[in-house]
Protein backbone atom coordinates (compact mmCIF):
# COMPACT_ATOMS: atom_id res chain seq x y z
CA UNK A 1 0.00 0.00 0.00
CA UNK A 2 1.28 3.47 -0.79
CA UNK A 3 2.12 5.95 1.94
CA UNK A 4 -0.43 8.55 3.07
CA UNK A 5 0.74 11.80 4.67
CA UNK A 6 -1.57 13.74 6.96
CA UNK A 7 -1.59 17.50 6.35
CA UNK A 8 -3.33 20.02 8.62
CA UNK A 9 -4.33 23.14 6.70
CA UNK A 10 -5.01 26.45 8.46
CA UNK A 11 -6.08 29.09 5.91
CA UNK A 12 -6.32 31.80 8.61
CA UNK A 13 -7.23 35.45 8.00
CA UNK A 14 -6.90 38.23 5.42
CA UNK A 15 -5.26 36.94 2.25
CA UNK A 16 -4.59 33.59 4.02
CA UNK A 17 -7.54 31.70 2.45
CA UNK A 18 -6.78 33.12 -1.04
CA UNK A 19 -3.13 32.06 -1.11
CA UNK A 20 -3.74 28.72 0.63
CA UNK A 21 -6.29 27.88 -2.07
CA UNK A 22 -3.56 28.19 -4.72
CA UNK A 23 -1.11 26.16 -2.65
CA UNK A 24 -3.73 23.40 -2.31
CA UNK A 25 -4.06 23.26 -6.12
CA UNK A 26 -0.31 22.54 -6.22
CA UNK A 27 -0.60 19.86 -3.53
CA UNK A 28 -3.40 18.11 -5.45
CA UNK A 29 -1.31 18.28 -8.60
CA UNK A 30 1.67 16.70 -6.79
CA UNK A 31 -0.58 13.95 -5.43
CA UNK A 32 -1.60 12.97 -8.99
CA UNK A 33 2.04 12.42 -9.92
CA UNK A 34 3.57 11.09 -6.70
CA UNK A 35 3.70 7.58 -5.27
CA UNK A 36 2.10 8.80 -2.03
CA UNK A 37 -1.20 10.47 -1.17
CA UNK A 38 -2.43 13.13 1.23
CA UNK A 39 -5.06 13.09 3.94
CA UNK A 40 -6.06 16.73 4.38
CA UNK A 41 -7.76 18.20 7.45
CA UNK A 42 -8.74 21.87 7.63
CA UNK A 43 -8.46 23.64 10.99
CA UNK A 44 -9.26 27.04 12.53
CA UNK A 45 -6.76 29.44 14.09
CA UNK A 46 -6.28 33.17 14.62
CA UNK A 47 -9.07 35.64 13.88
CA UNK A 48 -11.19 33.01 12.11
CA UNK A 49 -11.11 30.89 15.27
CA UNK A 50 -11.87 33.90 17.50
CA UNK A 51 -14.93 34.70 15.38
CA UNK A 52 -16.26 31.16 15.43
CA UNK A 53 -15.25 29.70 18.80
CA UNK A 54 -13.89 32.68 20.80
CA UNK A 55 -10.33 31.39 21.26
CA UNK A 56 -7.32 31.98 18.93
CA UNK A 57 -6.10 28.38 19.10
CA UNK A 58 -8.88 25.81 19.70
CA UNK A 59 -7.92 22.46 21.28
CA UNK A 60 -9.33 20.73 18.23
CA UNK A 61 -6.80 22.56 16.05
CA UNK A 62 -3.92 21.57 18.34
CA UNK A 63 -5.08 17.96 18.13
CA UNK A 64 -5.40 17.99 14.32
CA UNK A 65 -1.90 19.48 14.07
CA UNK A 66 -0.43 16.99 16.55
CA UNK A 67 -1.78 14.11 14.50
CA UNK A 68 -0.55 15.60 11.20
CA UNK A 69 2.80 14.99 9.47
CA UNK A 70 2.89 18.61 8.34
CA UNK A 71 0.96 21.83 8.90
CA UNK A 72 0.29 24.46 6.23
CA UNK A 73 -0.59 27.91 7.53
CA UNK A 74 -1.74 30.96 5.50
CA UNK A 75 -1.55 33.96 7.81
CA UNK A 76 -3.32 35.12 10.96
CA UNK A 77 -4.37 38.50 12.29
CA UNK A 78 -5.93 41.72 11.09
CA UNK A 79 -7.30 45.07 12.25
CA UNK A 80 -10.59 43.51 13.39
CA UNK A 81 -8.81 41.86 16.36
CA UNK A 82 -6.09 44.48 16.97
CA UNK A 83 -7.74 45.76 20.13
CA UNK A 84 -8.29 42.35 21.69
CA UNK A 85 -6.63 41.69 25.08
CA UNK A 86 -3.27 39.84 24.83
CA UNK A 87 -4.70 36.35 25.44
CA UNK A 88 -7.30 36.86 22.70
CA UNK A 89 -4.90 38.05 19.99
CA UNK A 90 -4.82 36.03 16.75
CA UNK A 91 -0.97 35.93 16.89
CA UNK A 92 -1.25 33.88 20.09
CA UNK A 93 -2.20 30.98 17.83
CA UNK A 94 1.19 30.89 16.11
CA UNK A 95 3.29 30.98 19.29
CA UNK A 96 1.00 28.36 20.82
CA UNK A 97 1.27 26.02 17.83
CA UNK A 98 5.08 26.23 17.66
CA UNK A 99 5.27 25.45 21.37
CA UNK A 100 2.72 22.62 21.35
CA UNK A 101 4.44 20.96 18.41
CA UNK A 102 8.01 21.45 19.68
CA UNK A 103 9.27 23.40 16.68
CA UNK A 104 12.53 25.04 17.73
CA UNK A 105 14.07 25.93 14.38
CA UNK A 106 12.74 28.51 11.95
CA UNK A 107 14.17 28.08 8.47
CA UNK A 108 14.05 30.96 6.00
CA UNK A 109 15.70 30.46 2.63
CA UNK A 110 16.69 33.63 0.80
CA UNK A 111 17.19 33.34 -2.95
CA UNK A 112 17.06 35.88 -5.71
CA UNK A 113 14.77 34.72 -8.51
CA UNK A 114 15.79 35.74 -12.05
CA UNK A 115 13.83 38.79 -13.13
CA UNK A 116 13.58 40.18 -9.59
CA UNK A 117 16.93 42.01 -9.58
CA UNK A 118 15.30 45.35 -10.35
CA UNK A 119 12.76 44.94 -7.55
CA UNK A 120 15.43 44.56 -4.89
CA UNK A 121 16.74 47.67 -3.17
CA UNK A 122 20.28 46.26 -3.42
CA UNK A 123 22.50 46.54 -6.48
CA UNK A 124 22.19 43.66 -9.00
CA UNK A 125 25.92 42.84 -8.88
CA UNK A 126 25.76 42.45 -5.09
CA UNK A 127 22.78 40.09 -5.04
CA UNK A 128 23.37 38.08 -8.23
CA UNK A 129 23.30 34.38 -7.25
CA UNK A 130 22.27 34.79 -3.60
CA UNK A 131 21.28 31.45 -2.08
CA UNK A 132 21.38 31.41 1.71
CA UNK A 133 19.30 30.07 4.60
CA UNK A 134 18.79 31.70 7.98
CA UNK A 135 18.16 29.21 10.81
CA UNK A 136 16.71 30.97 13.84
CA UNK A 137 16.31 29.39 17.28
CA UNK A 138 12.65 29.75 18.27
CA UNK A 139 12.03 28.54 21.80
CA UNK A 140 14.73 30.07 24.03
CA UNK A 141 16.69 33.24 24.57
CA UNK A 142 15.66 36.68 25.73
CA UNK A 143 12.06 36.41 24.47
CA UNK A 144 11.34 33.65 26.98
CA UNK A 145 13.60 34.51 29.94
CA UNK A 146 12.33 36.02 33.18
CA UNK A 147 11.08 39.58 32.81
CA UNK A 148 11.06 42.09 35.66
CA UNK A 149 10.03 45.64 36.25
CA UNK A 150 10.37 47.43 39.57
CA UNK A 151 10.59 50.87 41.10
CA UNK A 152 13.68 51.43 43.23
CA UNK A 153 15.18 54.42 45.03
CA UNK A 154 17.47 55.07 42.07
CA UNK A 155 14.61 54.85 39.55
CA UNK A 156 12.44 52.32 37.73
CA UNK A 157 14.31 49.28 36.39
CA UNK A 158 13.40 46.67 33.81
CA UNK A 159 15.19 43.48 32.83
CA UNK A 160 14.89 40.57 30.38
CA UNK A 161 16.92 37.47 31.07
CA UNK A 162 18.72 35.78 28.18
CA UNK A 163 18.90 32.06 29.00
CA UNK A 164 20.01 29.07 26.95
CA UNK A 165 20.43 25.46 28.01
CA UNK A 166 23.26 23.58 26.30
CA UNK A 167 20.81 21.04 24.82
CA UNK A 168 18.73 23.84 23.26
CA UNK A 169 21.82 25.14 21.49
CA UNK A 170 23.12 21.73 20.49
CA UNK A 171 19.90 20.57 18.78
CA UNK A 172 19.63 23.65 16.55
CA UNK A 173 23.36 23.63 15.79
CA UNK A 174 23.14 19.96 14.71
CA UNK A 175 20.11 20.67 12.54
CA UNK A 176 22.06 23.50 10.87
CA UNK A 177 25.12 21.32 10.22
CA UNK A 178 22.85 18.70 8.63
CA UNK A 179 21.35 21.41 6.43
CA UNK A 180 24.77 22.75 5.42
CA UNK A 181 25.84 19.21 4.55
CA UNK A 182 22.99 18.95 2.04
CA UNK A 183 23.79 22.39 0.59
CA UNK A 184 27.05 24.28 -0.02
CA UNK A 185 28.74 22.90 3.14
CA UNK A 186 29.33 26.26 4.79
CA UNK A 187 27.98 27.24 8.19
CA UNK A 188 28.19 30.70 9.73
CA UNK A 189 27.36 30.78 13.43
CA UNK A 190 26.32 34.26 14.55
CA UNK A 191 26.69 35.43 18.15
CA UNK A 192 27.95 38.25 20.37
CA UNK A 193 30.67 36.27 22.13
CA UNK A 194 32.74 39.37 22.91
CA UNK A 195 30.10 40.47 25.46
CA UNK A 196 27.52 37.74 26.14
CA UNK A 197 28.10 34.62 28.25
CA UNK A 198 25.25 32.83 26.45
CA UNK A 199 27.12 33.49 23.18
CA UNK A 200 30.31 32.00 24.61
CA UNK A 201 28.41 28.81 25.47
CA UNK A 202 26.85 28.89 21.99
CA UNK A 203 30.26 29.20 20.35
CA UNK A 204 31.81 26.37 22.36
CA UNK A 205 28.94 24.04 21.40
CA UNK A 206 29.34 24.93 17.71
CA UNK A 207 33.06 24.08 18.00
CA UNK A 208 32.28 20.73 19.63
CA UNK A 209 29.56 19.71 17.16
CA UNK A 210 31.76 20.81 14.24
CA UNK A 211 34.06 17.85 14.97
CA UNK A 212 31.23 15.55 13.80
CA UNK A 213 30.99 17.42 10.47
CA UNK A 214 34.53 17.72 9.07
CA UNK A 215 33.15 18.34 5.55
CA UNK A 216 31.45 21.56 6.64
CA UNK A 217 33.47 24.80 6.74
CA UNK A 218 32.46 26.73 9.88
CA UNK A 219 33.01 30.31 10.81
CA UNK A 220 31.87 32.51 13.69
CA UNK A 221 30.66 36.02 13.10
CA UNK A 222 29.61 38.72 15.55
CA UNK A 223 26.01 39.77 14.97
CA UNK A 224 26.81 43.42 14.26
CA UNK A 225 29.30 42.42 11.58
CA UNK A 226 26.84 39.87 10.12
CA UNK A 227 24.12 42.54 9.83
CA UNK A 228 26.54 44.47 7.65
CA UNK A 229 27.90 41.55 5.60
CA UNK A 230 24.44 40.17 4.78
CA UNK A 231 23.71 43.20 2.61
CA UNK A 232 27.35 43.79 1.53
CA UNK A 233 28.29 40.35 0.27
CA UNK A 234 25.23 38.08 0.66
CA UNK A 235 26.55 35.57 -1.89
CA UNK A 236 29.30 34.53 0.59
CA UNK A 237 26.75 32.88 2.89
CA UNK A 238 25.28 29.39 2.83
CA UNK A 239 23.64 28.47 6.17
CA UNK A 240 23.50 31.06 8.97
CA UNK A 241 22.55 29.77 12.44
CA UNK A 242 21.79 32.06 15.33
CA UNK A 243 19.80 32.53 18.53
CA UNK A 244 16.22 33.78 18.72
CA UNK A 245 16.47 37.58 18.76
CA UNK A 246 19.50 37.85 16.43
CA UNK A 247 17.67 35.53 14.01
CA UNK A 248 14.48 37.58 14.17
CA UNK A 249 16.37 40.69 13.09
CA UNK A 250 18.74 39.10 10.54
CA UNK A 251 16.00 37.12 8.76
CA UNK A 252 13.91 40.25 8.19
CA UNK A 253 17.01 42.09 7.00
CA UNK A 254 17.87 39.27 4.57
CA UNK A 255 14.33 39.43 3.16
CA UNK A 256 15.04 42.74 1.41
CA UNK A 257 17.35 40.91 -0.99
CA UNK A 258 14.51 39.02 -2.70
CA UNK A 259 12.57 42.07 -3.88
CA UNK A 260 9.10 41.05 -2.64
CA UNK A 261 7.87 39.76 0.69
CA UNK A 262 5.33 37.74 -1.32
CA UNK A 263 8.13 35.37 -2.43
CA UNK A 264 9.51 34.19 0.90
CA UNK A 265 8.55 30.82 2.37
CA UNK A 266 9.48 29.39 5.77
CA UNK A 267 9.50 26.18 7.75
CA UNK A 268 9.49 25.62 11.49
CA UNK A 269 11.03 22.29 12.41
CA UNK A 270 11.75 20.21 15.49
CA UNK A 271 13.05 16.71 16.00
CA UNK A 272 11.77 14.29 13.37
CA UNK A 273 10.23 15.12 10.02
CA UNK A 274 7.22 17.07 11.13
CA UNK A 275 7.05 20.77 10.26
CA UNK A 276 4.93 23.91 10.09
CA UNK A 277 5.10 25.69 6.73
CA UNK A 278 4.00 29.27 6.11
CA UNK A 279 4.86 32.39 4.11
CA UNK A 280 6.90 34.94 6.08
CA UNK A 281 4.44 37.72 5.27
CA UNK A 282 1.34 38.54 7.30
CA UNK A 283 -2.36 38.55 6.44
CA UNK A 284 -2.02 41.74 4.32
CA UNK A 285 -5.45 43.15 5.24
CA UNK A 286 -4.87 46.08 2.86
CA UNK A 287 -5.21 43.79 -0.18
CA UNK A 288 -7.42 40.99 1.21
CA UNK A 289 -10.40 39.97 -0.92
CA UNK A 290 -9.10 41.72 -4.05
CA UNK A 291 -7.60 38.63 -5.69
CA UNK A 292 -4.20 40.29 -6.14
CA UNK A 293 -2.17 38.57 -3.39
CA UNK A 294 0.98 36.78 -4.52
CA UNK A 295 0.65 33.06 -3.68
CA UNK A 296 4.36 32.29 -4.39
CA UNK A 297 5.55 32.30 -0.76
CA UNK A 298 2.85 29.80 0.20
CA UNK A 299 3.50 27.63 -2.87
CA UNK A 300 7.24 27.67 -2.10
CA UNK A 301 6.36 26.69 1.48
CA UNK A 302 4.72 23.56 -0.04
CA UNK A 303 8.07 22.85 -1.73
CA UNK A 304 9.75 23.07 1.69
CA UNK A 305 7.10 20.70 3.11
CA UNK A 306 7.90 18.14 0.40
CA UNK A 307 11.63 18.55 1.06
CA UNK A 308 11.70 18.39 4.87
CA UNK A 309 8.58 16.44 5.89
CA UNK A 310 8.08 14.04 2.97
CA UNK A 311 11.69 13.71 1.70
CA UNK A 312 10.65 14.29 -1.92
CA UNK A 313 13.46 16.55 -3.13
CA UNK A 314 12.51 16.04 -6.78
CA UNK A 315 8.98 17.35 -6.33
CA UNK A 316 10.28 20.23 -4.19
CA UNK A 317 12.68 21.30 -6.91
CA UNK A 318 10.03 20.92 -9.62
CA UNK A 319 7.80 23.40 -7.77
CA UNK A 320 10.72 25.81 -7.26
CA UNK A 321 11.62 25.63 -10.95
CA UNK A 322 7.99 26.20 -12.00
CA UNK A 323 7.65 29.32 -9.79
CA UNK A 324 11.05 30.60 -10.93
CA UNK A 325 10.28 30.17 -14.62
CA UNK A 326 6.84 31.79 -14.51
CA UNK A 327 8.35 34.83 -12.77
CA UNK A 328 11.35 34.89 -15.16
CA UNK A 329 8.82 35.06 -18.03
CA UNK A 330 7.69 38.39 -16.55
CA UNK A 331 4.32 36.98 -15.48
CA UNK A 332 3.00 37.77 -12.01
CA UNK A 333 0.78 39.50 -9.49
CA UNK A 334 1.09 43.31 -9.16
CA UNK A 335 3.93 43.11 -6.59
CA UNK A 336 6.07 41.15 -9.12
CA UNK A 337 5.69 42.81 -12.49
CA UNK A 338 7.57 45.92 -13.53
CA UNK A 339 5.57 49.12 -13.19
CA UNK A 340 3.41 49.75 -16.25
CA UNK A 341 3.34 46.03 -17.14
CA UNK A 342 0.07 44.10 -16.96
CA UNK A 343 -0.36 41.87 -13.91
CA UNK A 344 -2.47 38.76 -13.42
CA UNK A 345 -4.62 37.80 -10.43
CA UNK A 346 -3.92 35.29 -7.66
CA UNK A 347 -5.72 32.28 -9.18
CA UNK A 348 -4.44 32.91 -12.72
CA UNK A 349 -0.93 32.99 -11.29
CA UNK A 350 -1.58 29.67 -9.49
CA UNK A 351 -2.84 28.17 -12.78
CA UNK A 352 0.28 29.35 -14.63
CA UNK A 353 2.51 27.65 -12.06
CA UNK A 354 0.53 24.39 -12.39
CA UNK A 355 0.84 24.54 -16.18
CA UNK A 356 4.58 25.00 -15.84
CA UNK A 357 4.74 22.19 -13.30
CA UNK A 358 3.04 19.85 -15.77
CA UNK A 359 6.02 20.23 -18.07
CA UNK A 360 8.33 19.16 -15.24
CA UNK A 361 7.08 15.55 -14.96
P1 LIG B 1 2.16 40.79 10.33
O2 LIG B 1 2.22 41.63 11.53
O3 LIG B 1 1.02 39.80 10.32
O4 LIG B 1 3.47 40.18 9.92
P5 LIG B 1 2.56 43.04 8.68
O6 LIG B 1 1.86 44.23 9.17
O7 LIG B 1 3.99 42.86 8.97
O8 LIG B 1 1.76 41.76 9.14
P9 LIG B 1 2.05 42.03 6.02
O10 LIG B 1 0.70 41.46 6.22
O11 LIG B 1 3.16 41.06 5.87
O12 LIG B 1 2.38 43.06 7.14
O13 LIG B 1 2.05 43.02 4.80
C14 LIG B 1 3.06 43.99 4.58
C15 LIG B 1 2.87 44.61 3.20
O16 LIG B 1 3.23 43.63 2.21
C17 LIG B 1 1.43 45.00 2.90
O18 LIG B 1 1.40 46.17 2.12
C19 LIG B 1 0.89 43.86 2.11
O20 LIG B 1 -0.13 44.20 1.20
C21 LIG B 1 2.13 43.35 1.36
N22 LIG B 1 2.05 41.88 1.17
C23 LIG B 1 2.20 40.93 2.12
N24 LIG B 1 2.03 39.72 1.62
C25 LIG B 1 1.78 39.87 0.30
C26 LIG B 1 1.53 38.96 -0.79
N27 LIG B 1 1.48 37.64 -0.61
N28 LIG B 1 1.30 39.47 -2.01
C29 LIG B 1 1.35 40.81 -2.21
N30 LIG B 1 1.58 41.71 -1.24
C31 LIG B 1 1.81 41.27 -0.01
MG1 LIG C 1 5.31 41.36 9.89
Q: What is the pLDDT of residue 52?
A: 97
Give yes or no for residue 298 CB within 6 A of ligand 1.
no
307's CB contacts (< 8 A; 6+ apart) are 313, 316
Query: Any binding-site annotation on 294?
Result: yes
Cα 360 to middle of ligand 2, angstroms: 34
**Residue whose C-alpha is closest to residue 299's, from 17, 4, 25:** 25
Q: What is the pLDDT of residue 113?
A: 87
Q: Is the pLDDT of residue 1 over 80?
A: no
Give yes or no for residue 287 CB within 6 A of ligand 1.
yes
For β-strands 186-191 and 217-222, DSSP reports them as: parallel
Q: What is the pLDDT of residue 86?
A: 87
Percent above pLDDT 70 for the chain: 100
For 128-157, how does the pLDDT look when each residue is reduced to its tens digit (9 = 90+)?
999 999 999 999 999 889 999 999 999 999
Q: What mean pLDDT comes out for the span 79-96?
A: 92
Q: Whose CA is nearest to atom 22 of ligand 1?
A: 284
Cα 266 to middle of ligand 1, angstroms: 15
Order of strands, edge to edge, in the sheet holding 4-12?
Answer: 37-42, 4-12, 70-75, 275-279, 265-269, 105-111, 131-137, 239-242, 186-191, 217-222
Q: Which region among 58-67, 162-171, 331-340 has the lowest average model confidence (pLDDT)?
A: 331-340
Q: Is the pLDDT of residue 304 over 80?
A: yes
Q: What is the pLDDT of residue 40?
A: 98
Query: Any binding-site annotation on 287?
Result: yes
Cα 260 to middle of ligand 1, angstroms: 10
Residue 340: pLDDT band by 50, 70, 90 thresholds?
confident
Q: Which ligand is nearest to the CA of 284?
A: 1
Atom of ligand 1 nearest to the CA of 75: 3
Q: What is the pLDDT of residue 235?
A: 96
Percent above pLDDT 90 for the chain: 87
For β-strands 105-111 and 131-137, DSSP reports them as: antiparallel
For 248-296, how does the pLDDT look when each residue is reduced to its tens digit (9 = 90+)?
999 889 988 988 889 999 999 999 999 999 999 999 999 999 999 999 9
Residue 323: pLDDT band by 50, 70, 90 thresholds?
very high
271's CB contacts (< 8 A; 6+ apart) are 102, 171
Q: Is the pLDDT of residue 4 over 80?
A: yes
Q: Whose CA is nearest to atom 8 of ligand 1?
A: 282
Residues tagged active-site:
143, 192, 224, 248, 252
Q: What is the pLDDT of residue 117?
A: 83
Burial class from Cβ neighbours inside 10 Å (0-12, 13-18, 19+) for residue 174 reads middle
Average pLDDT of every residue of the chain = 95
Distance CA 213, CA 315 (A): 28
Neighbours of 329 (CB within 10 A): 12
Query: Any binding-site annotation on 158?
Result: no
To test the ligand 1 pocket, which listed residue (18, 282, 291, 334) has its Cβ within 8 A of the most ligand atoms?
282
DSSP class of residue 136? E
Q: What is the pLDDT of residue 339?
A: 80
Give yes or no for residue 22 CB within 6 A of ligand 1.
no
Give yes or no for residue 294 CB within 6 A of ligand 1.
yes
CA distances from 351 to 97, 183, 344, 356 (A): 31, 30, 11, 9
Q: Whose CA is nearest to atom 19 of ligand 1?
A: 284
Query: Any binding-site annotation on 59?
Result: no
8's CB contacts (< 8 A; 6+ apart) are 41, 42, 43, 61, 64, 65, 67, 68, 70, 71, 72
Asked if 94 and 131 count as a contact pair (C-beta separation under 8 A), the reply is no
Query: Any binding-site annotation on 78?
Result: yes
Neighbours of 17 (CB within 10 A): 18
Q: What is the pLDDT of residue 121?
A: 85
Give yes or no for residue 282 CB within 6 A of ligand 1.
yes
Amino acid sequence: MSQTYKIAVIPGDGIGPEIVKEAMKILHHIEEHASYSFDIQYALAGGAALDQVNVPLPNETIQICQEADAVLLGAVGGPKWDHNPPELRPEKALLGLRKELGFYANIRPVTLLPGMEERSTLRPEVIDGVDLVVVRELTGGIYFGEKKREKTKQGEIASDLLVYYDYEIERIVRLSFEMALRRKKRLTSVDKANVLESSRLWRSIVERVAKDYPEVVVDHMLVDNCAMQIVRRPTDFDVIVTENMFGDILSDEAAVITGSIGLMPSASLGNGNKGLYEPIHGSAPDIAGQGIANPSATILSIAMMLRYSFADENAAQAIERAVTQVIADGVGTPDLVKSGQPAICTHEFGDRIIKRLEQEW
